[in-house]
Structure 1
Amino acid sequence: MHTVWRMVTDRFAETAFSGDGARRYGGRWNRKGVPVVYTAGSQSLAMLEMLVQDDPLRARYVVIPAVLPDHLKMETISVEHLPADWRNAQPNRTLLEMGMRWLEERRSAVLIVPSAVIPAEQNYLLNPMHPGFSSITIGGPLKIDTDSRLIPAK
């Protein structure tokens, strides 16, 4: 079993694993209109992923664990299989195509991808439309007290 982590604003804790946020706004690996749940391999990576998106980091956050059972089918995309510009902030067509193909074909419940923030670490994309998604055990939200040094002074 492997535990992954999702960090969200506390008001979104109940729907954190619905894929609704990514469906509404799109992401690095999915287009708008398609649900996917972005999680990280550690709490610290989940925080870093939030830091690059939410500036300044002032909201109340929770981190929610999800346990991936050993039998759950997963795929991995390594850095070597990505284009040179994959870490750019602008949407990357190749990444969108790879992610959308994985989502639409429902080949696995989990897609393990390198983090654009720290490429040596992994994010875990969960496909809520895959039949195996229901075998993921989602824990309760844990309050995160953001270290004040992460919040820029006014």
Structure 2
Amino acid sequence: MKVYRISQTKFSKSLVASGFAGRWNSEGEGMIYTGGSASLSCLEVLAHKSGSALSSGKFSISVIDIPDSISIDEIELKELQRLSTDWFIVSHYPITQKLGNKWISDMNSAVLKVPSAIVDREYNYLLNPLHPKFAKIKVMDVVPFNFDTRLKLNF
């Protein structure tokens, strides 16, 4: 399976978790976010970065290979909706962070499939760099990526 990650070019060839808090992890919990498509990865970055941050850096898209031998856990949309119908709202990050932190600590898999909060029926794939099978996940290709200025105001 191929997944995609857009990052600053200087970080694009390595799979390293920043430890910054996100939708699925608390501060200090290492997790790598990827998208099921290049376009979803683009939308995810656009949703989380300002126009000035997008114009001030050089970005690349990494194509990451998850071998078929690696099992993938999943948090289904219906599970999230049982916890909160508004699970996707930023103020509800504690709901999803709790689930993601538990997944990291349980170490059941190196990959977690989660619903996108931006595009219904699309998925992000979270990577656990502490899992023993994580070493099998590889960056296969890196290409420069430019955000079209029409996608964000004040770019």
Shift of 1:11: 2.9
State the Cα RMSD in Å. Answer: 1.5
Percent of residue pairs identical: 32
Cα deviations by residue, 1:58-88 (Å, 9 ceiling, x for unpaired) = 2321100111111101111111000212110
- Counterpart of 1:37? 32
- Matching residue of 1:116: 117
What's the CA shift string for 1:5-33, capped at 9, x where partnerless? 01002232244x111x2x1x211111111
Tell me how far apart the structure 1 counterparts of residues 152 and 120 of structure 2 sit (CA, whole Å). Answer: 24
Partner of 2:46: 51
The question of whether the paired residues in 1 share the 8 Å contact of 2:86 and 2:92 is answered with no
Q: Which fold has the larger relative contact order, with Cα–Cα distance below 8 Å and residues 6 or more apart in sequence?
A: 2
Q: Which one-letter code corresponds to 1:130 in the other structure?
A: H
Would the aligned equivalents of 2:34 and 2:41 in 1 still touch at CA under 8 Å? yes
Matched letter for residue 105 of structure 1:
D
Out of 72, 75, 78, the position equivalent to 1:74 is 72
Higher mean alpha-carbon deviation, 28-37 vs 144-153, is at 144-153
Q: Find the aligned partners of 1:144 and 1:64 in 2 and give their Cα distance.
A: 9
1:109 CA displacement: 0.6
Does the 8 Å CA contact 1:18/1:128 hold for their aligned counterparts?
A: yes
- Structure-2 change in CA distance of 1:136 and 1:151 (3 Å): same
Q: Secondary structure at the match of 1:94?
A: helix
Q: Which amino acid aligns with 2:22?
A: G
Aligned residues: 149
Which amino acid letter does the alignment assign opposite residue 16 of structure 2? S
- Give 1:149's aligned residue: 150
Moved over 4 A (4+): none
Tell me how far apart the structure 2 counterparts of residues 92 and 145 of structure 1 sit (CA, whole Å): 29
Residues in 2 aligned to 1:126 and 1:103: alpha-carbon distance in whole angstroms? 9
Give, in whole Å, the separation in 1 of the partners of 2:11 and 2:113.
Answer: 23
Structure 1 residue 91 displacement after superposition: 4.5
1:79·1:119 contact (CA, 8 Å) conserved in 2?
no
User: How far did 1:36 drift?
Assistant: 0.6
TM, length-normalised to structure 2: 0.89
Question: Deviations 1:102-147 (Å, cap 9, x if unpaired)?
Answer: 0001010100000111131000000000011011121232101222
Counterpart amino acid of residue 146 in structure 2? D
Query: How many Å apart are 1:153 and its aligned residue?
Result: 5.1
Change (3 A) 1:34 1:149: same
